Amino acid sequence: MMLFVGLGNPGPRYANHRHNIGFMAVDAIRSEFNFSPERKRFQGLAAEGLVDGGKVLILKPETFMNESGRAVREAAQFYKLDVSDIFVFHDELDLAPGKIRVKTGGGVAGHNGLRSIAAHMGPDFHRVRMGIGHPGSKDAVTAYVLNDFSKAEHDWLDPLIEAAAKEAGWLAQKEPERFMTAVSLRLPPPKSAAGKNTQQD
């Protein structure tokens, strides 16, 4: 069993926030593959299914972002999962919008959801970093992540979510490099106009 965790805040008020891109990604994976209906488990919403033949549990913690680790730990303990079986989908300020990278271990870069998971599980889980760009000022970060994606941002957001879902089988096989390559090949070429949110990793 693999555990795909989407990070976000529960409830309709937060559904379209930039901070909720992790929820959006795992919802798309659940729709793309054959998953059971969501049900309340492990302090979150969980669904089991097969992703290219590999067993996967999708989990969206309902603890709010700062306590995501409690839900992840409960699910991991129930299924006796190793930290290497966990992929966490989350928003990444330090990647340009529409970029995606997978990283194993390391710091949490101020992300409260990652900080909570690291506190409960240790740092060596896989992070699927989904770029949302940076607002340019540290003081503006909270307002930026806790606001909806703009209509224009859906030009890169929707293809990114779709590509990540269609290629999620590589993650189920623990092939993150092939996942990143396959997602990149599915994405439209970037527009030539450079905006303020073009920071790379």
Those residues with Cβ within 8 angstroms of residue 144's Cβ, 6 or more apart along the chain or in another chain: 18, 134, 135
Which H or E element spans position 49? Answer: strand 44-51
Q: What is the pLDDT of residue 110?
A: 79
Contact 7, 90 (CB under 8 A): yes
Q: What is the pLDDT of residue 189?
A: 79
Specify the DSSP class assigned to residue 156.
Answer: H
Contact 23, 45 (CB under 8 A): no
pTM for this structure? Answer: 0.91
Q: What is the pLDDT of residue 191?
A: 65
Count of helix runs (H) and strand runs (E) in the chain: 7, 8
Q: Distance between CA 14 and CA 94 in Å, rounded?
A: 21
Q: What is the pLDDT of residue 64?
A: 87
Contact 138, 155 (CB under 8 A): no
Strand partners, 78: none
* Catalytic position from the list 19, 111, 126, 134: 19
The pairing of strands 86-92 and 100-104 is unpaired
Domains parsed from the chain with CATH numbers: 2-186 (3.40.50.1470)
Q: What is the pLDDT of residue 188?
A: 83
DSSP of 21-90, one letter per residue? HHHHHHHHHHHHTEEPPPEEETTEEEEEEEETTEEEEEEEE-S-GGGHHHHHHHHHHHHT--GGGEEEEE
Indicate if 19 belongs to the active site.
Answer: yes
The pairing of strands 34-35 and 44-51 is antiparallel
How many alpha carbons lie under 13 Å from residue 137 in its C-beta half-sphere? 3
- Can you give the pLDDT of all 201 residues of the chain as single tens digits? 999 999 999 999 999 999 999 999 999 999 999 899 999 999 999 999 999 989 999 999 999 889 999 999 999 999 999 999 999 999 999 999 999 999 999 888 778 899 999 999 999 999 999 999 999 888 999 999 999 999 999 999 999 999 999 999 999 999 999 999 999 999 987 664 444 444 444
